Amino acid sequence: MTEEQSRRKRDAGQSDCLSFTISIWRQQGLNDKGQMVSYPLKRVRPEMSFLEMLDVLNGELERKGEELPISFDSDCREGICGMCGLVINGVAHGPGHGTTTCQLYMRSFADGSTITIEPWRAAAFPVIKDLVVDRSAFDRIIQAGGYASINSGSAPDANSMLISQELASEAFDAAACIGCGACVASCKNASAMLFVSAKVKHLNILPQGQPERHKRTVAMVEAMQQEGFGNCTNEYECEAVCPKEIAVEHISFLNREYLKAKVAGK
C-alpha cells in the first residue's frame, strides 16, 4: 500500500492496517536443529519498519506466554550499524535497493501475503538463536589486516599528506561497507569477497595504507579462506543486496591487488 492509498483509506474511515502470515526460523540454540514456524499477524501499520513489525509480533508472543519471543539482532535502526541482517522472502535485507532490514517498511509487502524470514546462512556464520548469527568471522578478517599502523604521537601538520577529492571519494565508497554480511548471505557460495574487497580497497588506495598494502591483502584473503567462506563465481548477487551499494568492481580490484602482492613475494 502506498502512503497515498493508506491516507485515502484512513480519510474514508477504514482501517489501513495490514495483516500477514509470518513464517520464521525458530532455533533454540547453536546445536538445535531448528524449523520454520508460522504466525498470523494483524494490525500492522504500513509505516512500521520491518523490525517494529517483529517487535509487535514479539509483544503478542509475550502476552500469550506460550513461546519465547523471537531473537533477532538490531542496534542503530537507522541503517548504519549492520546488525539487522535477515533474509526476507529469499532476499538478504528484503526488497528495496540499498537498504538494511531496519530501513524496510511494511508498505513494501502486499496485504495478506506470507513473509518468510530466515537467518544468514553460511558455515562461517553459525546461527546462535532464531535469527541471530555469529558474525565474528568478519571481525577476525578485519583483525588480520583491516587497519593501518599510524604513529598517533603528535598531530601531523594540516595538509602534509595530499589526497585528491577523487581518491578520497573512491576510498569512502569502499569504506561505506558496514560489515552486515548480506553479501555472504545472498551468495550461493557464501563468499565474503565483496566485504573483503571493500575493506582492502578503502585502505589500499590511500597513502596511509601503503606500507602494509601487500601484507594486508594477503592476510585478509587468507583469513577469509580460513573462516570457511566460499569462492566467488561471479554471479553478482552480493552487489544487488548490499545496503551500501558496494559494486563488484571492488572484487576485480581485490583480485588484481592479490596478484600484485603475490608477484611482490608476499
Partner 1 sequence: MPSKLFSSPIGKKMGMALTGLILYGFLIGHLLGNLLLLKGDGGQAFNAYAEFLINHPLLIPAELFLVVVFLLHVYLAISVTRENRRARPVGYQATQSVGGRNFASYTMIYSGIIVLVFLVLHLKTFKYGDKAEGTLYDLVSATFQQTGYLVWYVIAMLVLGVHLWHAFQSAFQTLSVRSDKIRSLGLILCLILALGFGFLPVYLGILK
Cell of 239: 552487489
Report the C-alpha gap between 31 and 129 in whole angstroms. 9
Site for ligand FES in 95-134 (CB under 6 A): 100-102
55: helix, strand or coil: helix
Burial class (CB in 10 A: 0-12, 13-18, 19+), 59: exposed
16: nearest Cα among 2, 32, 26 = 2
Number of residues that bind ligand HEM (CB under 6 A): 2
Q: Is 179 in the site for ligand SF4 (CB under 6 A)?
A: yes
Give yes or no for residue 224 binding ligand SF4 (CB under 6 A): no
Contact between 233 and ligand HEM by CB under 6 A: the answer reads: yes
Q: Is 204 in the site for ligand FES (CB under 6 A)?
A: no
- Dihedral angle sign, alpha carbons of residues 201, 202, 206, 212: negative
- Helices 193-204 and 165-175 cross at an angle (nearest 10°) of 150
State yes or no: residue 234 binds ligand HEM (CB under 6 A): yes
Which is closer to ligand HEM, CB of 145 or CB of 230? 230
Q: Per-residue DSSP letters for 166-233?
A: HHHHHHHHHHT-----HHHHHSTT-B-HHHHHHHHHHHHTSGGGSTTHHHHHHHHHHHHHHTT-B---
Determine which residue in the list 25, 48, 82, 218 makes contact with ligand FES, applying CB under 6 A: 82
Evaluate whether 111 touches 18 at the Cβ level (below 8 Å). yes
Closer CB to ligand FES, 47 or 235, in the complex: 47
The interface with partner 1 within residues 25-44 (CB under 8 A) comprises 25, 36
Closer residue to ligand FES (CB): 92 or 223: 92
177 interacts with ligand FES by CB under 6 A: no
Bridge partner list, 129: 132
Enumerate residues 170-229 that contact partner 1 by CB under 8 A: 186, 188-191, 193, 218, 221-222, 224-225, 228-229
What residue ranges bind partner 1 (CB under 8 A)?
23, 25, 36, 87, 89-91, 116, 118, 121-124, 186, 188-191, 193, 218, 221-222, 224-225, 228-241, 248-249, 251-256, 258-259, 262-263, 265-266
